[in-house]
């Protein structure tokens, strides 16, 4: 267990199968991935400059987790591996993007979980063995992890699935992300402002709001939720919503016209034996 105050870890202490993350944009949010050893990380991203995909100025604040190679030469170690979006593999330096590595904690106690006031750093759920975690990450590197969604299927959701194999069944709730659970809990705490009538002091109001926030975080954690199921990575594709698939046009009937200077147009019909019988169209 890393500690209540900080989950920061030295690069030399990283082990294959670790769930790591790095803070972005003045600690507003963190990007998550699975460290697979040899200074390489598998992680899930949307596209450069479109991590949230709002199409507004907000995209300027939540930059993509994928390394930006347009502004300079590609990374010598992972530049040839980088895809524009989806599940990608990059070196640790590109993943951190100038930040520091932090270790996501698993199987923490409820007291420790609540002591970590900010979500997206630990969970009550237990992690599977490292070899299974790496297998899931490498499998998803080839098969994908569905459509990226900030609220339903983001980089933290990907890393948590690789570590636990747990998938949320219900379609109306948020994903496994602790960052989004914290945000939801914060809104719930604010929405519970009518509870201020239960207390007449500022201190009492702070206690009520903090309590609602902690309860919201706790019940949203993947380790205590009842709407999750363990899904083998080989069957994960069965749980993604169907995508729009382009339907190929139906094959046209065999039809061939021949035009020449002194030859009338001909039409070709099958003779029943795989051959072709020409018939004059004139």
**Which residues participate in catalysis according to the annotation?**
31, 43, 155
Residue 138: CA count within 13 A, CB half-sphere: 11
Residue with tokens 């899904």: 231
Rg over alpha carbons for the chain, rounded to the nearest Å, is: 27
Structure tokens, 63 = 């930059």
Residue 153: exposed, middle, or buried by beta-carbon count in 10 A (0-12, 13-18, 19+)?
Answer: buried
C-alpha atoms less than 13 angstroms from C-alpha of 214 in its C-beta half-sphere: 14
What's the Cα-to-Cα distance from 73 to each of 70, 78, 184, rounded to whole Å?
7, 11, 40
Distance CA 204, CA 209 (A): 9
8 Å CB contact between 88 and 97: no
């Amino acid at each position: 267990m890393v500690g209540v105050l900080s989950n920061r870890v030295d690069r030399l202490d990283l082990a294959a199968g670790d769930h790591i993350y790095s803070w972005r944009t003045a600690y507003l949010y963190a990007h998550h991935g699975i460290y697979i050893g040899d200074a390489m990380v598998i992680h899930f991203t949307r596209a450069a400059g479109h991590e949230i995909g709002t199409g507004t100025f907000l995209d300027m604040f939540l930059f993509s987790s994928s390394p930006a190679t347009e502004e300079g030469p590609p990374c010598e170690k992972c530049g040839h591996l980088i895809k524009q979006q989806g599940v990608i593999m990059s070196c640790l330096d590109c993943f951190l993007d100038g930040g520091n590595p932090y270790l996501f904690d698993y199987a923490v106690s409820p007291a420790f979980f609540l002591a970590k006031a900010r979500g997206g750093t630990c969970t009550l759920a237990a992690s599977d063995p490292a070899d299974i975690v790496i297998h899931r990450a490498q499998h998803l590197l080839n098969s994908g992890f569905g459509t990226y969604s900030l609220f339903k299927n983001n980089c933290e959701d990907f890393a948590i699935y690789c570590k636990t194999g747990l998938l949320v069944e219900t379609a109306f709730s948020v994903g496994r992300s602790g960052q989004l659970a914290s945000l939801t809990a914060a809104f719930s705490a604010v929405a519970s402002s009518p509870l201020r009538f239960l207390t007449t002091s500022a201190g009492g109001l702070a206690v009520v709001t903090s309590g609602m926030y902690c309860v919201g975080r706790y019940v949203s954690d993947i380790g205590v939720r009842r709407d999750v199921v363990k899904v083998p990575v080989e069957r994960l594709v069965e749980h993604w919503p169907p995508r729009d698939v382009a339907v190929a046009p139906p094959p046209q009937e065999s039809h061939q016209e021949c035009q020449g200077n002194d030859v009338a147009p001909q039409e070709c019909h099958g003779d029943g034996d795989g051959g072709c019988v020409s018939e004059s169209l004139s």
